[in-house]
Structure 1
Amino acid sequence: MASDEELVGQLEQVWASMAALADVLDEEEWRLPTECPGWSVQDHLVHITGIEWMLLGRPAPEYELAAYPEHVKNDVGRANERFVDSRRSWAGPEALAEFLEVTADRLTQLRTFTADDFGASSWTPVGPGTVRDLLPFRVFDSWVHEQDMRRAVGRPGDLQGPVAEVALERLVGAMPFVVGKKVAPPDGTTVVFSRTAPLAGTTALAVAGGRARALDRAPADPTVQILLDGETFARLACGRLDPAATIASGAVHFHGDAQLGRRVVEEMNFLF
């Protein structure tokens, strides 16, 4: 488990990577669409600014939308959309300047925190927790949106190292929920995700008592083995790809029970 200081360092790293990417974009690239419906490259950077703005305790912009996208289901989502839309008239460099200012202030704040501050109560995406609980989610969220930006402009990066490892841990950690609760196959089912680079690795799960749990090693003959590259794994888990189209493209292969494998891939999105 990463220390508080390591988590703050990972935030600094991913935000620096986002800033370096954004710094070389032209205005056309800022406006390019991404795999998030309705969101441009600029919108992703602004979204991260908005979350950290809120966590700094700054007042939300006095701004309202007439309607919200279908995927927005709660107050946090509505607040996100309002903040993003309030900056859509800005030029890319303006959005970057605000991102740099807000994230610098957030890092300054976090570096003053004591152990008690990191242990203080905080909102997290999965319910009440502590500031310490929240920080890995902030690393993960920032990395996911950085990858959205990078794919849209054709500049891959940040697919290895500590930040990518934190993100992958979150993605892998969601798969027992996907398999055990969303797909809910019978007890005794084993599912193995075999990922090639980037983000290479193996995740093996077994279902018992109606729940899926991680195995230390993959069984020799799993019910289904799902083979895909790590970036496709991440995009499916984050709802960035259409599962059926991805399977049809040949980006995912199955050994064993292909019908079960397809069901798992169709349910991999755990963010929406």
Structure 2
Amino acid sequence: MADVPEADWRRPTALPGWSVHDVVAHIIGTEAMLAGTPTPETGVDVAALEHVRNPIAELNEHWIISLRDESAPAMLTRYREVIAQRKAALPKLPTAEWNAVTATPAGPDSYGRFMRIRNFDCWIHEQDIRQALGRPSSDEELSGPAGRLALDEIAASMGFVVGKLGKAPDGSRVAIELTGPLARTIRVAVDGRAAVVEEFDAEPTAVIRLDGLQFTRLCGGRPLCETRPDTIEFDGDAQVGQRVVDNLNYVI
């Protein structure tokens, strides 16, 4: 971002109502809150904004509004300062605090899970920024540790997506085969309750095959991007496969 012209910070992203500047403000604000900084009061009824749909989004929007007039250099300074603060604090947390249950965007879970969600959030927003600026991640960048960890977080939610949202029937074995730099296979077995499994005990009943980055975009409610293959293929029960794809958008 250091070499991005000021005007390009105002480019719209695929996220309704958010520019590149707004996405960076969201990241700054979230990390600042986690460091103990109170959410700024803006006097704006953010709940009335069309793209604000839940209490977490309301908090995000207050940060975005409060930083909207900041210049690109000022934003970079804020970002570097809060990230340095968080990078210094996290390694000092004792194991008990990493394992302690806390509120997360996915419901009560460990602080460690919360930090995995934070990695996912930052990574997917990096892709939002890159797509808006026409600077997509290289294959090497996509296959790096941040991308793999982000995909771990997404994969953990696929039981809910396949069973609850996609309504795969009991006995289904749904394989989501991701291609490209983020290649992996996510397997969900429905045996009373849908769950992610390492292996199936029989052939999959439905296979969904698509590029890994495109998969993350669908899970995050983003449109498919132009920089990766956009073909989605089905084997087996295509109706179940299509229903799962239609309901991949689970991120709040």
TM-score for the superposition, normalised by structure 1: 0.82
SS in structure 1 of the partner of residue 244 of structure 2: helix
2:220 aligns with: 238
1:86 aligns with: 66
Could you tell me which of 154, 178, 187 is aligned with 1:195? 178
**Distance in 2 separating the partners of 1:74 and 1:65:** 15
2:44 aligns with: 65
Structure 1 residues 225 and 92, CA gap change in structure 2 (3 angstroms): same
Query: Is the Cα contact below 8 Å between 1:192 and 1:218 reproduced in 2?
Result: no
How far is 1:41 from its partner?
1.0
Runs of 5+ in structure 2 lacking a partner?
Answer: none
Alignment of 1:68-147 (within 5 A): 68=47, 69-120=49-100, 122-147=102-127
CA RMSD of aligned residues (A): 2.3
2:11 aligns with: 32
1:73-130, Cα deviation, whole Å (9 max, x unpaired)? 3332211111012111222222111111111112222233333443455331123344
Query: Is the Cα contact below 8 Å between 1:203 and 1:218 reproduced in 2?
Result: no
* Larger deviation, residues 90-99 vs 103-112: 103-112
Structure 1 residues 227 and 108, CA gap change in structure 2 (3 angstroms): same
Structure 1 residues 45 and 250, CA gap change in structure 2 (3 angstroms): closer
Alignment of 1:249-260 (within 5 A): 251-260=231-240
Structure 1 residues 137 and 250, CA gap change in structure 2 (3 angstroms): closer
Runs of 5+ in structure 1 lacking a partner?
Answer: 1-21
Read off the aligned partner of 1:72 and give its amino acid letter: V
1:173 has 2:173 as partner: no
Could you tell me which of 210, 219, 227 is aligned with 1:228? 210
1:16 aligns with: none
1:169-227, Cα deviation, whole Å (9 max, x unpaired)? 01111111111111222211221111111201111222111x22234336775322111
1:51 aligns with: 30
* Structure with greater contact order relative to length (CA < 8 Å, sep ≥ 6): 1
Stretches of 4+ aligned residues off by more than 4 angstroms: 218-221
1:216 aligns with: 198
**Distance in 2 separating the partners of 1:251 and 1:80:** 33
**Distance in 2 separating the partners of 1:113 and 1:256:** 47
Structure 1 residues 34 and 121, CA gap change in structure 2 (3 angstroms): same
Query: Is the Cα contact below 8 Å between 2:189 and 2:200 reproduced in 1?
Result: no
**Distance in 2 separating the partners of 1:90 and 1:71:** 22
Structure 1 residues 131 and 174, CA gap change in structure 2 (3 angstroms): closer
How far is 1:63 from its partner?
0.9
How far is 1:250 from its partner?
5.5
Read off the aligned partner of 2:205 and give its amino acid letter: T
Read off the aligned partner of 1:184 and give its amino acid letter: K
Query: Is the Cα contact below 8 Å between 2:101 and 2:109 reproduced in 1?
Result: yes
Read off the aligned partner of 2:55 and give its amino acid letter: D
Query: Is the Cα contact below 8 Å between 2:46 and 2:52 reproduced in 1?
Result: no
Structure 1 residues 112 and 215, CA gap change in structure 2 (3 angstroms): closer
Structure 1 residues 109 and 32, CA gap change in structure 2 (3 angstroms): same
Read off the aligned partner of 1:214 and give its amino acid letter: V
**Distance in 1 separating the partners of 2:112 and 2:75:** 28
Read off the aligned partner of 2:162 and give its amino acid letter: V
**Distance in 1 separating the partners of 2:216 and 2:159:** 15
**Distance in 2 separating the partners of 1:116 and 1:218:** 35
2:165 aligns with: 182
